[in-house]
């Protein structure tokens, strides 16, 4: 859709922790997509992957502010 001079892409979606699409909005569809997400399960999955475990924010803090 459009809001003034801003054009939005549309096709918003909600996924679970594994990237499975739980719901999807259309390109020209206006609305709100709402789904329940198990935040504990998402946290467990995120911790199991270990991506954040070894990050070193002190190395890039000056870049991100």
pLDDT per position as a tens digit, 39-58: 999 889 888 887 777 888 89
CA distance 26 to 5: 20
Domain boundaries, the chain: 2-64
pLDDT at res. 35: 92
Residue 59 has pLDDT above 80, yes or no: yes
Does this model's pTM top 0.85? My answer is no
Residue 4 has pLDDT above 80, yes or no: yes
CA distance 10 to 18: 22
Provide the pairing of β-strand 6-7 with 2-3: antiparallel
pLDDT at res. 21: 95
Nearest 5°: the CA angle 49, 16, 56 is 35
Residue 22 CA to chain centroid, in angstroms?
Answer: 12
Residue 65 has pLDDT above 80, yes or no: no
pLDDT (average), residues 14-40: 89
Return phi, psi of residue 58, to 5°: -65, -20
């Amino acid at each position: 859709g459009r809001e003034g001079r801003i054009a939005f892409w549309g096709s918003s979606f909600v996924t679970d922790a594994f990237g499975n699409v739980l719901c999807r909005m259309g390109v020209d569809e206006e609305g709100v997509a709402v789904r329940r997400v198990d935040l504990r399960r998402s946290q467990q999955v995120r911790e199991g992957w270990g991506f954040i475990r070894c990050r070193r924010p002190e190395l890039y803090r000056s870049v991100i502010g």
